[in-house]
Chain A
Amino acid sequence: QVHLVQSGAEVKKPGASVKVSCKASEYTFTSFAIHWVRQAPGQRLEWMGWINSDNGNTELSQKFQGRVTISSDTSANTAYMELSSLRSEDTAVYYCATGHDFDIWGQGTMVTVSS
């Protein structure tokens, strides 16, 4: 069965960067795009962008342009989302998702930004 396993919770200070990983198992990593979605406490889900792991192309939400980098390592079946210049409003659970129509999700990674 296909799984996405994300890295553990992070606590960062304002202005720092965070890099979250998403490891895929049991499927051909390059078959589907990997999306990143975040959810601040009590808020709706927010799409950040995606990567085509086959060719490395990305599409990013303009809201995060300049602050987010989405990358992948096909040899490790792993995708990464790095968010820089963190502020308190970036405190959220970050999810990766893939498959047809977002049918497979990682377990989420809590990122807390606090001084």
Chain B
Amino acid sequence: GQNIDQPTEMTATEGAIVQINCTYQTSGFNGLFWYQQHAGEAPTFLSYNVLDGLEEKGRFSSFLSRSKGYSYLLLKELQMKDSASYLCAVRPAGNTDKLIFGTGTRLQVFP
């Protein structure tokens, strides 16, 4: 079966660093995506990893370890506007049209 797990909720302080973890067990692997979704809005693309290692994009970085079935999203210099849900999604092997979303992590940033 397909299983993608994330912590349900996290809190952090403005200016801090937070790491959101994602573990997955899927039928094959063609990459992992991170999306941000503010309440009542559409998910927006943050990052894509298909090879092991760290991808950095400004304040956001994403890491992947395929052997461990593990990824994390690192958010630095947190801002209030970063309060949102963060969704990890895996593209399984065999069908490039499909994305399987994890349970999502609701992050709340406090002043």
Question: Is B one of A's binding partners?
Answer: no
Interface residues of A (CB under 8 A from B): none
